[in-house]
Amino acid sequence: MNMIQMCKIAKIYPNGAPALHDIDLKIPAGEFVYITGSSGAGKSTLLRLLYCADRPTRGQILMGKRNITRLNARNVAFLRRQIGFVFQDFKLLLNRTVLENVALPLHVQGVSTEETRTRAFELLQYVGLEYKMQRKPLELSGGEQQRVAIARAMIVRPKLLLADEPTGNLDSSLALEIMGMFSRINKEGTTVLVATHDQELTHQTPHRVIALENGHVVSDSRPEANTESIEPQEAH
C-alpha cells in the first residue's frame, strides 16, 4: 500500500514563481526516501505540500487513501497528529523544558498528563537524553536539540516522519548519528522522508533517492536496483 501518492502535482507561488512541475510519485508505506537537490530545487515545497502548509496549484495528493489536497484547517491539524516533523532549525519551544517539548504533541491531543509524561520519558530514553529532561533547549548542543526534536516527532507514533534538512546544522558525525536514528525509526515501521542537499549522506546511509531539479523529478533510484524507470521530463 502506498503511504504517499502524488498525481501531476504543480506548485506556483502567488508571486508567480514556479516551485514544482508535474510531480508523480508513489512512496510505499514503510519506505525510507531521500528527496535531494540543490537549494531551490523544490525539496522543502514538496514536504510543505505533504504536511499541508501549502496547497498544490494543480494535482492531487493521497496520504493512505485520503486526499489531502483541500483539507480545512481543523482536518489539517488532525492529519498532522499522524506525522512527525524534524527540521534543520529544530523548532523547539525555547522557554519550555526538554520534557515539555517532547510531551507537547500529546498535550495537544488531550492525552492524560501521566501517560504523556511516561511516554515522553520513554522517548527521551530512546534518544538518550532522559538525564537532561529538565534542561531548556538552549542548554543543549545542536545534536542534542535535534534528538529532542526526533523524540517529539516520535511521541505520536507517526505513520510518516518528514525531515527537512535535519542534519543541516550538525557536523558529519552527528549527522550520521541522526541518520542512524532515522533508519532505526524506519525499521520499526515508520515511513521516513528526508529532504537533504547533502549527497554524501545518501551514500553513507543508502536508501531510495528522489532527486529534484528546478521543480522536476530528474531521477528516482534505489540502492539495490539503480535508476528506476521514470519518464525523462522535458527540460524547462
Partner 1 sequence: MKRLRYFIRRTIMSMIQSPLLNGATIGTITVALMLLAFFTLIVLNVQNITRQWSRDIQITVYLEQVPSTTKLEQWQQEIENHPMVENVTYVTQDQAFERFRTRLGQNDDLLDGLLPEILPASFELSLAQEARSEHGAETLVQDLKKNPAFSNFRYGQDWLKRYDAFMFLLKLTGTLAGGFLIFATLFVISNTIKLTIYARRDELEIMSLIGATPMFIKIPFLAEGALQGITGALLALGGCHALYYFFLKKGLSALLTTTAASNISFLPLSVQLGVILLGLLLGVTGSMLPLRKFVRI
> Residues in the site for partner 1, rule: CB under 8 A?
51-53, 73-74, 76-81, 85, 91-93, 95-96, 104-105, 107-110, 112, 152, 156
Q: Which of 209, 225, 226 is nearest to 35 (CA)?
A: 209
Query: Strand runs (DSSP E) across the chain, as ranges?
Result: 2-12, 18-28, 32-36, 58-63, 66-67, 83-87, 160-164, 191-196, 208-213, 216-221
Please report how close the Cβ of residue 66 comes to partner 1 at its closest, in angstroms: 15
Nearer to partner 1, 101 or 186 (CB): 101
Nearer to partner 1, 9 or 153 (CB): 153
Please report how close the Cβ of residue 73 comes to partner 1 at its closest, in angstroms: 4
Position of cell 488531550? 110
Please report how close the Cβ of residue 107 comes to partner 1 at its closest, in angstroms: 7
Enumerate residues 6+ apart whose C-beta is below 8 A from 195. 34, 35, 36, 43, 44, 46, 47, 162, 163, 164, 165
Q: Which three cell numbers stand for residue 131?
A: 538525564
Nearer to partner 1, 17 or 93 (CB): 93
Please report how close the Cβ of residue 134 comes to partner 1 at its closest, in angstroms: 15
Is 7 buried (19+), middle (13-18) or exposed (0-12) by CB count in 10 A?
A: middle
Please report how close the Cβ of residue 194 comes to partner 1 at its closest, in angstroms: 17
Please report how close the Cβ of residue 75 comes to partner 1 at its closest, in angstroms: 9
Q: Which of 233, 154, 230 is nearest to 186 (CA)?
A: 154
What Å distances lie between residue 137 and 30, 99, 167, 176, 194, CA to CA?
31, 10, 17, 21, 23
Nearer to partner 1, 65 or 74 (CB): 74
d(Cα 200, Cα 173) in Å, to the nearest integer? Answer: 12
Nearer to partner 1, 74 or 231 (CB): 74
Nearer to partner 1, 52 or 124 (CB): 52
